[in-house]
Structure 1
Amino acid sequence: MRHGKYPFVIGFLFAPVALYVTFVIWPYAQAFQISMTNWRGLSAPQWVGFDNYRRLLDDGAFWKAVQHHGVLLLALPLITIAIALFFAFLLNVGGKSSGGQRQGVWGAKFYRVVFFFPQVLAVAIIAVLFQMVYRPNESGLINGVLMKIGLEPILFLVKPNLALWSILAVLVWQAVGFYVVLFSAGMASIPGEIYEAAEMDGASRVTLFFRVTLPLLWDTLQVAWVYLGIAAFDAFAIVAVLSVDGGGPDGATTVLAMEIYRNAFVYSKYGYASAMGVALFFLTLTFAALTLRLTKRESVEY
């Protein structure tokens, strides 16, 4: 049996590995190859080496998109995790004790469904919904209320200094429900005896959160931060539907995925767009590696 173990394992792994190489690794390799060319889609590609990458260094639109990713990388995980942790704590251990077990607030099961609801909607549908929310006239959900009480409408998606934050709010609204469920699962695995012991020592709810819940959820928080960082590097569908002229006004909401789309399918610069895609790949990989390294800590066993 021992001598036949490796052929048996290889036999089961061959098909999924072959599919992964064909549909994931090979397209990545093609992107690297195309990024070294001046290919416009119809004519034969011309080899230009690293010229496309040198052009990126002087591309204002590219660096503006990178700057926007920097804002999203900081704000999206911080805001989403803070809100999701707060709600998850209330839904799982924020209520009274019953039979020696911590309970969530009243109606916790209903709230879980409500918070998770955005996850069942397609990203494009969410963007269209918030188009109606952000409309700059009385037909908009927010501005309609403001105008009825005599206030001026807010141009959420038109003002350059407000547009990116308006899109960030949509990304947070979309993501919070998933992380409420993720953190709830982590809190459910924490033994109730730990909370009981802390309460017997006089710990308040704030102390329970910061001294018990947060340290024991650290691995889950680490994963959540990486996932949200990857989401911040994407954000293409929300930006494409909500923003003015695809990343506007005046490039105030553009992201790398938007610039890749524009260069590839509007300007037919497939080689240059692939170079941007490769840059996005390494930025995402670097972020994930740094996050896992900088947030690494000894695991707490319980």
Structure 2
Amino acid sequence: MSHVAQGRGKGGFIAGFLIAPLALYLTFVIWPYVQTFGYSFTNWTGQSPTFDFVGVDNYAALMKDEVFRGALWHNLLLLVFVPVITILLALFFAFMVNAGGRGGAGGVQGVSGSRWYKVIYFFPQVLSLAILAVLFGAIYRSDEGGLLNGFLVKLGVVDPQHPVEWLNEPNFVLWCLLFVVVWHGVGFYLVLFSAAMQTVPKDIYEAALLDGAGRAQTFFRVTLPLLWDSVQTSAVYLGIAAMDMFVLVSTMTSGQFGGGPDHHSEVMATVLMRNFLYFGKSGYACAMGVVMLTLTMILSVVTLRATRRERIEF
């Protein structure tokens, strides 16, 4: 009986600690999702307390909305390039600062000054996205005073009378934003991959070197397989970031909530906010939110399943 009473007391103690966090999670996380899903089937304007049920009309309108379809295409492009470029660069730099140096008496080691490189590469992470928008806004300025245009003018590549308008050129604007995201993210994932590499015994790298493996072979046959779990998780997080992009697009590009020029940098989040706050089509915006949530969940599941491998023990 004492064991039964003790078990009940322990269960009650655990339940007492779980009830409050669970209630908060349901109230502030799950319930807004449920509300958004419900509003997506209405013509709610966001201000009026009254609205009508319109069924799937909002979702049907989305399929015909050229601006939203263009924004979806931009998100998909970012979804491909942001994770791939960021992870490849972070893996390369992490390998160099941990195992890319010359082997000496101390065994496998990073390149000279690797500790400082970690700090330098991680530095962009201490900057908020708002600061990044201001910083790269100055770099991409559409006159000779912009850092990029000034550099190209000095090289004689760009005519000083006709500098490149990086954030107003339809063919350049999305790639300029992509560069900012990659520049901001590489340092964080370099540190993440470096921490994972430091858990790998140096004996494995030394054995590979004794067998005659070069740096490229060591990277692809030793480092990458052992870090696959970290790479998989990073791909999911970067994919989610690519599906957002609201802060950078809305602050760096022209137009109401960004998206310019002529919707060439539009992403789903900017279209959603414009419809919700500017056009007063809140029910329609909620439908966009449901689509974004669905695509993000599908992305996460597909990425985890497509990159699933057998765990390598060492």
- Name the TM-score, length of structure 1 as normaliser: 0.97
Q: Deviations over 1:79-136 (max 9, x none)?
A: 1011111110111111133555421111111111111111111101101110000001
Matched, 1:177 2:183: no
- Residue of structure 2 aligned with 1:255, choices 247, 253, 267: 267
Q: 1:128 to 1:300 in 2, by over 3 A?
A: same
1-structure distance, mates of 2:304, 2:231: 11
Q: Given the alignment, which residue of 43, 55, 62 partners 2:61?
A: 55
For residues 165-204 of structure 1, the aligned pairs below 5 Å read 165-204=175-214
Amino acid paired to 1:81: I
Runs of 4+ in 1 over 6 A off after TM superposition: none
- The question of whether the paired residues in 2 share the 8 Å contact of 1:97 and 1:103 is answered with yes
Determine the structure 2 residue equivalent to 1:298.
310
Local SS of the residue matching 1:24:
helix
**2:186 counterpart letter in structure 1:** V
In the comparison of the two structures, how many residue pairs are matched? 302
Match of 1:19 in 2: 24
Give, in angstroms, the shift of residue 200 of structure 1: 1.1
SS across alignment from 1:4: helix
2:7 alignment counterpart? 2
Matched, 1:280 2:292: yes
Is the 1:100–1:196 contact (alpha carbons within 8 Å) kept by the matching residues of 2?
no
Deviations 1:43-74 (A, max 9, x none): 21221121111111111111101100110011
**How much does 1:156 deviate?**
1.2
- The one-letter code of the counterpart of 2:203 is E
Is 1:106 aligned to 2:112, yes or no?
A: yes
| Aligned partner letter, 1:247 | G
Q: SS in structure 2 opposite 1:97?
A: coil
**Would you say 1:39 and 2:44 are equivalent positions?**
yes
Q: Which amino acid aligns with 1:168?
A: L
Which residue pairs with 1:222 in the alignment?
232
Please report how far the alpha carbon of residue 7 of structure 1 lies from its aligned counterpart in structure 2 after TM superposition.
1.6
What do residues 195-214 of structure 1 show as CA deviations (whole Å, max 9, x unaligned)? 11111111111111011001
TM-score (normalizing by structure 2): 0.93
Structure 1 portions without partners, runs of 5+:
none
Q: What's the RMSD between the two structures over aligned residues?
A: 1.2
Number of the residue aligned with 1:159: 169
Partner Cα distance (2:99, 2:67) in 1: 47
Question: Could you tell me how far apart the structure 1 residues matched to 2:103 and 2:41 are?
Answer: 63
Q: SS at 2:8's partner residue? A: coil
Residue 132, structure 1, aligned to residue 145, structure 2? no
Q: Determine what percentage of the aligned residue pairs are the same residue.
A: 52
Tell which deviates more after alignment, 40-49 or 289-298. 40-49
Tell me how far apart the structure 2 counterparts of residues 148 and 93 of structure 1 sit (CA, whole Å).
38
CA drift of 1:262 comes to 0.3
Deviation of residue 147 (structure 1)?
A: 2.1
Within 1, Cα distance between the matches of 2:56 and 2:288?
A: 12
CA distance in 2 between partners of 1:174 and 1:283 (Å): 24
Distance across 2 between alignment mates of 1:148 and 1:108: 32
Specify the SS of the correspondent of 2:243.
helix
Unpaired stretches in structure 2, ≥5 consecutive residues? 1-5
CA deviation string 1:126-158 (max 9, x = no partner): 011100000011110010122234323222111
- Rounded Cα–Cα distance in structure 2 between residues aligned with 1:66 and 1:130: 24
Q: Secondary structure at the match of 2:168?
A: coil
Distance 1:29 1:128 in 2: 36
Q: Deviations over 1:215-235 (max 9, x none)?
A: 101111100100100000011
**Counterpart for residue 94 of structure 2:** 88
